[in-house]
């Protein structure tokens, strides 16, 4: 059995006894090619199952109408809602999308950036890997083709960045707990080098300071992997304290759900004894009992907005494009884990 491969323009031209350029122009409905020739070329192309090579065409025209997208984790629910918005908005505007995953690995992230550039994509949308510290390779790509960052971003890269109002969202979540009469509010966050975590932590601190509630270091817990298991583990630490917290703000729903599971194990009443608030409004936030109060992040809107700004930059007539940071508004969804009793 012979090796499978695509039919080429060269093979079509040989069969038709036409030049490669004539075949190419016929397939693209060039006005200089007669209708009879166009019909002959298209008929044979259909018979031979010819599929145009978008990348080859892109290298010739310097436009592929393809966007590259790099994310840390494709399976993350919030990421999947962003990607849905990206794909739908790109298609509306006549672009295709190639998606790749860095697995929060900085080396793989650089490889993906270089691969996307070699493929000739018109621009790149990227959410940075968790421990991105060496930005030289990202800056090299930024200096070559349009780049827009979303969700996981960095102030050290002077490109357009699409984010949610992280600090304000966290402030609103903690203010909600304070309005319930809670004063010993713990936070479960990521360790340093996380833009999202640091912004949410800043919102937490601002709420405590604004309401003259002391910041207690023992109630500030960090973990590298902000997972359900670590949410449970860190809540166990909080419950072992002589003076327990009366509320927990976790910077992800997974960590908040882990906290709820730990509270259930020790038969702690939620929200009477300890209220819980998460962040992202994942599908699991409505399945857990009690249902989780959480910050709703409009992933679809983030994805669509990122595409709009990237294409605007790609199609700009000059290279003088004003970069900006665009904040997408969130909302607090109050559920049973923090309802006033």
At 212-259, the pLDDT tens digits run: 999 999 999 999 889 999 999 999 999 999 999 999 999 999 999 999
Give pTM, 2 decimals: 0.81
d(CA 259, CA 244): 13
Give pLDDT, residue 1.
45
Give pLDDT, residue 62.
59
Q: At 216, phi and psi to the nearest 5? A: -105, 115
d(CA 295, CA 307): 23
At 59-112, the pLDDT tens digits run: 454 577 899 999 999 988 889 999 999 999 999 999 999 999 999 999 999 999
Residue entry with tokens 């270089």: 114
Residues present in the chain in total:
341
Inter-residue contact 294 to 335 (CB < 8 Å): yes
pLDDT band, residue 133 (cuts 50/70/90): confident
Which strand ranges, in their side-by-side order, compose the sheet holding 160-164? 96-101, 66-71, 123-126, 147-150, 160-164, 325-328
d(CA 41, CA 92): 30
Query: Which string of DSSP letters, residue by residue, matches 83-148?
Result: HHHHHHHHHHTT-EEEEEE-TT-HHHHHHHHHHHHHHT-SEEEE---TT----HHHHHHHTTS-EE
Distances (CA, A) of 210 to 94, 172, 178, 213, 248: 48, 12, 11, 8, 18
- β-pair type (293-296, 331-333): antiparallel
Of the candidates 318, 324, 320, 314, the one whose C-alpha atom is nearest the C-alpha of residue 94 is 314
- Structural domain spans, the chain: 63-163+299-329, 166-297+332-338
Give pLDDT, residue 99.
96
The domain made up of 166-297+332-338 has a fold known as: Rossmann fold (3.40.50)
Give pLDDT, residue 2.
45
Give pLDDT, residue 57.
56
Inter-residue contact 279 to 78 (CB < 8 Å): no
Which segments of 231-281 are extended strands (E)?
247-250, 275-280
Whether the domain at 63-163+299-329 and the domain at 166-297+332-338 fall into the same CATH topology:
yes
Inter-residue contact 67 to 95 (CB < 8 Å): yes
Architecture of the domain whose range is 63-163+299-329: 3-Layer(aba) Sandwich (3.40)
d(CA 286, CA 303): 23
């Amino acid at each position: 059995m012979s090796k499978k491969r695509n039919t080429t323009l060269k093979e079509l031209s040989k069969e038709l006894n036409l030049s490669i350029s004539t075949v190419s122009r016929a397939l693209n409905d060039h006005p200089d090619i007669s209708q009879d020739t166009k019909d002959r070329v298209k008929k044979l192309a259909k018979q031979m199952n010819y599929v145009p090579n978008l990348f080859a065409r892109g290298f010739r025209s310097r436009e592929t109408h393809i966007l590259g997208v790099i994310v840390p984790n494709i399976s993350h629910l919030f990421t999947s809602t962003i990607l849905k918005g990206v794909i739908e908005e790109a298609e509306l505007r006549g672009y295709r999308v190639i998606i790749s995953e860095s697995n929060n690995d900085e080396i793989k992230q650089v490889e993906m950036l270089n691969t996307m550039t070699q493929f000739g994509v018109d621009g790149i949308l990227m959410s940075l890997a968790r421990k991105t510290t060496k930005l030289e390779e990202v800056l090299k790509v930024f200096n070559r083709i349009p780049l827009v960052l979303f969700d996981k971003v960095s102030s050290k890269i002077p490109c357009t960045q699409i984010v949610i109002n992280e600090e304000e969202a966290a402030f609103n979540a903690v203010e909600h707990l304070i309005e319930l009469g809670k004063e010993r509010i713990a936070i479960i966050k990521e360790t340093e080098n996380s833009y999202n975590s640091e912004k949410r932590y800043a919102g937490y601190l601002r709420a405590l300071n604004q309401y003259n509630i002391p910041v207690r270091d023992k109630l500030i817990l960090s973990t590298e992997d902000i997972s359900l298991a670590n949410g449970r583990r860190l809540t166990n630490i909080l419950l072992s304290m002589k003076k327990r917290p009366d509320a927990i703000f976790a910077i992800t729903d997974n960590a908040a759900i882990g906290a709820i599971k730990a509270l259930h194990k020790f038969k702690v009443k939620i929200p009477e004894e300890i209220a819980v608030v998460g962040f992202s409004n994942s599908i699991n936030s409505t399945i857990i009992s009690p249902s989780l109060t959480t910050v709703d992040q409009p992933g679809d809107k983030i994805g669509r907005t990122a595409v709009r700004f990237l294409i605007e930059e790609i199609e700009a007539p000059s290279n003088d494009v004003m970069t900006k940071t665009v904040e997408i508004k969130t909302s607090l969804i109050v559920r049973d884990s923090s309802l006033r009793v």
